[in-house]
Amino acid sequence: MTTILRKHHFDLPDGVIYLDGNSLGPLPRSAAERAAHTITQEWGLELIKAWNSAGWMDLPARIGDRVAALIKAQPGSVTMGDTLSIKVYQALDAALKLRPNRKVILSDSGNFPTDLYMAQGLIDTLAKGHVLRTPPPDDVQDAINDDVAVVMLTQVDYRTGRLHDMAAITARAHAAGAVMIWDLAHSAGAVPLDIAGCAPEFAVGCTYKFLNGGPGAPAFIHIRPDIAPLVNPALAGWMGHEAPFAMDPDYRPAPSTERMRVGTPPVVQLSILDAALDVWDGVTMADIRAASIALSDLFIAKVEAGCPALRLASPRDGAQRGSQVSFHFAHGYAAIQALIDRGVIGDFRAPDIMRFGITPLYLDEDDISAAADHICDVIQTEIWRDPKYQTRARVT
């Protein structure tokens, strides 16, 4: 397999095999340094002047271009800020305005809950008779018809890692006259993408998973450049104004995707993310993908060989899978806790999913083999039956 390993860029603690980079990526060394610089040198010494002198105001666009390169979107089509939930709301609202005579938001039953909640909140707020349809993921293509205003899907299923066919679904949505929104939460930095080629109207995502931007790192939103001038933002914030410091009493949106900026940008978290993206310099997504599939296949083979009690929840075919491997196990919560106790960090998703992120930036075959051995040992010895592993933490 291609070697990608960039573990030296990260501050992973000794004795830890980190299989949860699909939830929260680990700390890149450069990010800690950059945060200290932004805080003590820029904020501390430049004070208010740093908005100009340190380029704070341009961070959303500049980092947006770095994310655009990773998802193969057009330069200038991505901006950063807020949270993924907010970006979903912005995209959905804009999509419905682009299709005023249609009433259906089509998603799928496997979508991450907050995407569905944001749709529900928008529907309630508009009170114009929109409906949210959530067929099973496999049925979603056939559910795209002329009633559908917008198709909103997360490419990689957060539980199983199942991958939607982005090109085919986008083409189908467009053939039916629907707007397409892709949520790339588990895609950006995990699988090769071609947003400019697929040409969905909107793509959104977060940066604290495979992009290692840190807890609560800002989200991103892409608007297809031809659509941007047509978007009428619900969240019409001053930073999305054509001239924020003109203090105009009337909102006039910025010409590009920048109109999706809302309030004052989170400068410290943006700076951390900016540094975290340095890890990707010189890495190709094709190499990452090849390594991810090879490591995942190895992981599946070893776990299945050593613990038949676990049933694969992810697609067996690497081409159908994001960069994670999940197993069903009735005692999955306790088993994950026992593994964390040994330094093998995965996570649990209700009702019975043991989930492991496979991230070639800082995991190699030795890590994967060792992790699989620990999993099999924990399952075979039933050490997860220890009462200390049964108590649920608030966040799982």
Q: Which residues are catalytic?
A: 112, 183, 208-209, 355
What's the token pair of residue 170? Answer: 């986008």
Strands 202-205 and 148-154: unpaired
Shortest reach from residue 309's CB to its own copies, in Å: 23
What is the Cα–Cα distance from 260 to 237, expressed in whole angstroms? 8
Q: CB neighbours of 66 closer than 8 A, spacing ≥ 6? A: 274, 277
Query: Of 64, 266, 332, 360, which one interacts with its own copies (CB under 8 A)?
Result: 266
Name which of 207 and 314 has its Cβ closer to its own copies. 207
Which residues between 169 and 208 bind its own copies (CB under 8 A)?
A: 206, 208
Regarding 15 and contact with its own copies (CB under 8 A), the answer is no
Query: Of 247, 282, 319, 388, which one interacts with its own copies (CB under 8 A)?
Result: 247
Residues in contact with its own copies, total (CB under 8 A)? 93
Q: Comparing C-alpha atoms, which of 89, 19, 75 is closest to residue 371?
A: 19
Per CB under 8 A, the segment of 165-173, 228-236, 308-316, 372-380 that binds its own copies is: 228-236
Regarding 338 and contact with its own copies (CB under 8 A), the answer is no
Q: 103: burial class by Cβ within 10 Å (0-12, 13-18, 19+)?
A: middle
Directed axis angle between helix 267-276 and helix 29-36, to 10°?
Answer: 150
Regarding 237 and contact with its own copies (CB under 8 A), the answer is yes
Shortest reach from residue 295's CB to its own copies, in Å: 19
What is the Cα–Cα distance from 16 to 113, expressed in whole angstroms? 30
- At residue 49's C-alpha, the angle toward residues 56 and 212, to 5°, is 25
Query: Of 214, 318, 322, 332, which one interacts with its own copies (CB under 8 A)?
Result: 214
Shortest reach from residue 32's CB to its own copies, in Å: 5
| Cβ–Cβ under 8 Å, residues 323 and 296 | yes
What's the token pair of residue 273? Answer: 């993310």
Which residues between 124 and 153 bind its own copies (CB under 8 A)?
A: 124-128, 134
Q: Comparing C-alpha atoms, which of 155, 157, 177, 164 is closest to residue 95?
A: 177
Query: Of 4, 9, 17, 23, which one interacts with its own copies (CB under 8 A)?
Result: 23
Query: Of 272, 288, 307, 358, which one interacts with its own copies (CB under 8 A)?
Result: 272
Which residues between 39 and 58 bind its own copies (CB under 8 A)?
A: 39-40, 43-45, 47-52, 56-57
Regarding 289 and contact with its own copies (CB under 8 A), the answer is no
Regarding 241 and contact with its own copies (CB under 8 A), the answer is yes
Query: Of 70, 71, 93, 384, which one interacts with its own copies (CB under 8 A)?
Result: 93
Shortest reach from residue 186's CB to its own copies, in Å: 14
What is the Cα–Cα distance from 151 to 70, expressed in whole angstroms? 23
